């Protein structure tokens, strides 16, 4: 039996089958030990078999595995308080959901509700998810997979880094600007403080909402709680997911006070979002980041990666923290395959010359040394 027998044939498969994992290492059915520099698309922030996270999930399963948002539960309140505090106090409420796309869907809904305007402005190269609204603001989705007959609202895209286009495209018809502060799928592309600051200024001037999609860069991956903290540019809303649950499916929409104030009972809804298991996972992720000083580790190890890994096919570095792009002198797919043959898992991106690294925050300098040696060998 092939592992994919009855699964929908929509995902290209890596030529490995994982049966077990620990720390930053994957163990395959055929007995290989593979260094995971991809973290399951940026999800495995704490790596594998993290004791605190594993215990938190087991403990919550032993207490109560599910009650909906209609039933107060302390673990849900703890997770929301912990996450808003972690983000630095700018946001005063959290709406928990199940995925990144769902977080974006709800952020866009809030922007339309608050402004009653017809359009959204996105950024070229962005990825925001596969649902109707999130897909509508994803660059190039219409040509690749969108399939819905039309988008539910007007969308315009700012070319990356184009400051002049900001004032042309963000107008009084704009409900929101949605931007990944560091693009993930687009190729670990750092938007930079100047561009993000200009978006903030223009949105404030035009009365449009600014949404940071931190589904991939958020919850510590930048080396800061959120990229917003790193750039010192605060949006009206942050969406996040991936690392947030370390593999327990969850997402979150963080809202600043004016957004919170515009909420009304039953204005947003979900069955699974905010479930106690997800909340226990979220609490454990933030706890581990804080108690194990993982933000400092991400900053230190990513700096070392930049300083030491311009070797072999690598001609440059981009991105931020552990959303790291290795710019290559040859196709990333080729280098990805060659690294996997040397027991290192890395990812590609929409940019064919960029290899994307999204390792667990527990990655150490000695692991980067293994990557460098493999790259030198190519």
**Which residue in 96, 112, 127, 322 binds ligand PLP (CB under 6 A)?**
127
6, 14 Cβ separation under 8 angstroms: no
Residues 27-46 that bind ligand PLP (CB under 6 A): 41
| CA quadruple 360, 378, 305, 225: dihedral, nearest 10 | -30
Q: Which of 40, 47, 122, 184 binds ligand PLP (CB under 6 A)?
A: 184
State how far the Cα of 228 lies from the Cα of 4, in Å rounded to an integer. 39
- Selected from 129, 220, 276, 321, the binder of ligand PLP by CB under 6 A is 129
For residue 113, how many C-alpha atoms fall within 13 Å in the half-sphere facing its CB?
Answer: 15
Is residue 100 a contact residue for ligand PLP (CB under 6 A)? yes
Nearer to ligand PLP, 57 or 358 (CB): 358
Size of the site for ligand PLP (CB under 6 A): 15
Residue 196 CB contacts under 8 Å (≥ 6 apart), including other chains: 179, 181, 231, 233
Structure tokens at 167: 């004032």
Q: By CB under 6 A, tell whether 277 contacts ligand PLP.
A: no
Q: Which of residues 336-375 bind ligand PLP (CB under 6 A)?
A: none
Pick the stretch among 14-22, 127-135, 221-229, 267-275 that binds ligand PLP (CB under 6 A): 127-135
Instruction: Name the minimum Å distance from CB 164 to ligand PLP.
Output: 25
Q: Are 159 and 191 in contact (CB under 8 A)?
A: no
Q: Do 288 and 294 meet the contact criterion of CB atoms below 8 Å apart?
A: yes
Residue of 374, 367, 239, 210 lying closest to 298 (CA atoms): 367
Distance of CA 147 to the CA centre of its chain: 24
Determine the interface stretch with ligand PLP among 125-133, 203-211, 228-236, 334-342 (rule: CB under 6 A). 125-133
Residue of 50, 76, 82, 128 interacting with ligand PLP (CB under 6 A): 128
**Residue 94: its H or E element:** strand 93-97
317 touches ligand PLP by CB under 6 A: no
Q: Which is nearer to ligand PLP, 273 or 313 (CB)?
A: 273
Q: Which residue is nearest to ligand PLP (CB)?
A: 100
The least CB distance from residue 312 to ligand PLP, in Å, is 27
Distance CA 13, CA 9 (A): 10
Which of residues 45, 83, 175, 185 is near ligand PLP by CB under 6 A? 185
Q: Which residues of this protein are in contact with ligand PLP, per CB under 6 A? A: 41, 99-101, 104, 127-129, 180, 184-185, 213, 215-216, 241
């Amino acid at each position: 039996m092939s592992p994919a027998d009855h699964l929908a044939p929509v995902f290209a498969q890596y030529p490995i089958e994982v049966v077990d994992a620990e720390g930053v290492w994957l163990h395959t059915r055929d007995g290989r030990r593979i260094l995971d520099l991809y973290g399951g698309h940026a999800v495995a922030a704490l790596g594998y078999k993290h004791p605190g996270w594993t215990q938190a999930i087991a403990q919550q399963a032993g207490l109560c595995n599910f009650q909906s948002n209609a039933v107060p539960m302390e673990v849900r309140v703890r997770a929301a308080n912990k996450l808003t505090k972690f983000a630095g106090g700018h946001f005063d409420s959290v709406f928990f959901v199940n995925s990144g796309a769902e977080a974006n869907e709800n952020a866009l809904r809030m922007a339309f509700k608050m402004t009653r305007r017809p359009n959204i402005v996105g950024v070229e190269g962005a990825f925001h998810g596969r649902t109707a609204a999130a897909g509508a603001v994803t660059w190039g989705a219409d040509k690749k997979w969108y399939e819905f007959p039309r988008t539910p609202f007007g969308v315009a895209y700012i070319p990356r880094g184009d400051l002049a286009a900001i004032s042309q495209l963000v107008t009084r018809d704009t409900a929101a600007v949605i931007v990944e502060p560091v693009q993930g799928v687009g190729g670990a592309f750092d938007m930079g403080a100047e561009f993000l600051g200009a978006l903030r200024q223009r949105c404030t001037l035009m009365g449009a909402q600014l949404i940071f999609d931190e589904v991939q860069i958020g919850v510590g991956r930048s080396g800061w709680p959120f990229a917003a903290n790193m750039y010192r540019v605060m949006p009206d809303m942050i969406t996040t997911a991936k690392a947030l649950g370390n593999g327990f499916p969850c997402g979150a929409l963080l809202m600043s006070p004016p957004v919170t104030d515009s909420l009304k009972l039953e204005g947003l809804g979900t069955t699974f979002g905010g479930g106690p298991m997800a909340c226990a996972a979220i609490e454990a992720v933030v706890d581990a980041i804080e108690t194990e000083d993982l933000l400092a580790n991400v900053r230190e190890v990513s700096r070392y990666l930049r300083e030491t890994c311009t070797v072999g096919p690598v001609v440059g570095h981009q991105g931020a923290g552990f959303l790291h792009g290795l710019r290559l002198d040859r196709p990333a797919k080729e280098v990805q395959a060659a690294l996997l043959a040397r027991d290192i898992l890395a990812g590609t991106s929409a940019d064919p010359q960029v290899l994307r690294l999204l390792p667990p925050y527990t990655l150490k300098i000695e692991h980067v040394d293994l990557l460098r040696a493999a790259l030198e060998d190519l």
